[in-house]
Homo-oligomer: A and B are copies of this chain.
Amino acid sequence: MEKAERSNPNGLTVKKADNFSEWYTQALLKSDFIDYSDVSGCIVFLPAAYYAWQKITYAVDAEFKKDGIEDVYFPLFIPERLLLKEKEHFEGFVPEVAWVTEAGNSKLDEKLAIRPTSETIMYRNFSKRIRSWRDLPLRFNQWNNVVRWEFKHPTPFIRSREFLWNEGHTVYATEADSKAERDVILGIYNKILKEYLAIPGIIGIKSRKETFPGALASYSIEHILPDGWAIQGPDFHLDGQNFSKAFEIKFLDKEEKQQFAWQNTYAITTRELGVMVATHGDDKGLVIPPKLANIQVIIIPILKKDGSAAVLEYARSIAEQLKAEYRVRVDDREGYSPGFKFNEWELKGIPIRIELGPRELENNKVILVRRDTGEKQETDAASVNRSVKDLVEHIQENLYSRAEHAMKAMIHMADDYSDLKDILSEKKGIVSAPWCGNVTCEDKIKEETGAKITNIPLDQKKINGKCVYCGKQAVERANFAKSY
């Protein structure tokens, strides 16, 4: 950190509501959550950021394991000829592939892609290992880094050239079996988003146009950022038999007949860290949900000239008491005022602050301050663990319900095209509108308003309206929005 920032750590110079994009960058950099690197589009995950991601991976992975999914690790490199095998998939990724062409001082015989996703290298193996219906289902997952060399303006977490994710790759004997996995996986993602990141989302199917290259159908959880733009979260793809035919993933069924397998893929990425920061942060800085915070409780002793040793000792005893259950730190730095420290830890988004000075020591009390609401409460030292436990729950619930409320306020209904256009130009967020299912209307709406279909919510009733664009019979309500 520069000296100038040190003297004013609460250095956000813009308000979130005034300039979201500048606020977002400042919040990430000044809180020491990330740093830029020397390679454009690649960021450094500093301890608070990586801690949150690691917790997410542990939580998702535990759910995956409970459901029988097994982790594997496939190589970073994919020979060009393998990427070429499934045409649609290849065309979807090749404009963004980073290529290794040299090793040491030698030119390689064949260019190697850095994996943008691992279908092609994994499915080579699948075709060798799957022989019989007994080998199915095969449910593999990996946690790794992938590279997509986007040429658009990079935004930390939101649009990064290297990112971290899980990629689930599963193989089933029948279409019905493969389809049954959808709700399990989207359910796991949604649960972790709610219980860890405190982020709501809209579960739906992608339009044909927005479907993953090579998939039969794609599903997503979509978020809305505070600037009103939609952003795609975790996704799930029914790949059908496209890859199994390209890679010859065949098996003998119980009747000894050869069949092509049915496949799925799914992912949650570090993009969610960006959504988390954008959703919960405020003009003071980040607000990290308690389960994901590397420091959950920061204790700030208020040191006066007299008796500061006793107050410091009191602070340490409270920390000692909390540390079996919570991640806690005492900010005992000399030469910084309590106010300076309050600002700094608020900027970093630490969920709970404990203040204690000579008065609290005398009364055997501590003051607890919530980062999300700023509310203060006084508690007996003896019951501080209980109070922190309650606060952790309340903060988590409050962050989620606040975010859900904000999201709902940004979902608008339109039943004709002029409404849709008015809302898109005047309000923030998503417009739910009846649609005929035809790509021509989808294209026209995009062209005329800049809004694409984020997804078509699964949770909707049969409708009986007219397509907002062409006026023909609508088959469903689709969500239209400007989207990251």
Contacts and interface: CB of A to CB of B under 8 A. Distances in A.
A103 B112 contact: no
B46 A72 contact: yes
Interface string A57-80: 000000000000011111111110
Q: How extensive is the interface on chain A, given as a class? A: 35 or more
A149 B104 CA distance: 7
Contacts of A103: 96-99, 149
A75 B3 contact: no
A475 interface: no
Interface of A: 1, 3, 6, 32, 35, 37-39, 42-47, 49-51, 53-54, 70-79, 82, 94-105, 111-112, 114, 121, 124-125, 128-129, 131, 134, 140, 142, 144-145, 147, 149, 151, 162, 164, 294, 333
B94 A104 contact: yes
How many copies of the polypeptide does the oligomer hold?
2
24 contacts: A35-B128, A37-B121, A38-B78, A39-B112, A42-B75, A42-B76, A43-B75, A45-B72, A47-B70, A47-B71, A47-B72, A47-B140, A50-B70, A50-B72, A51-B70, A70-B294, A77-B162, A94-B104, A98-B103, A99-B101, A99-B102, A100-B100, A102-B111, A145-B145
Contacts of A1: 129, 131
Given A104-B94, A131-B3, A121 B38 contact: yes
Most buried by B among A47, A95, A147: A47
Given A70-B294, A95-B104, A75 B121 contact: no
Contacts of A35: 125, 128-129
A84 to B, nearest CB: 12
Given A1-B129, A131-B3, A140-B47, A37 B104 contact: no
B72 A44 contact: yes
A104 B125 CA distance: 26
A373 B75 CA distance: 35
A344 to B, nearest CB: 13
Nearest to A140: B47
A348 to B, nearest CB: 13
Contacts of A79: 38-39
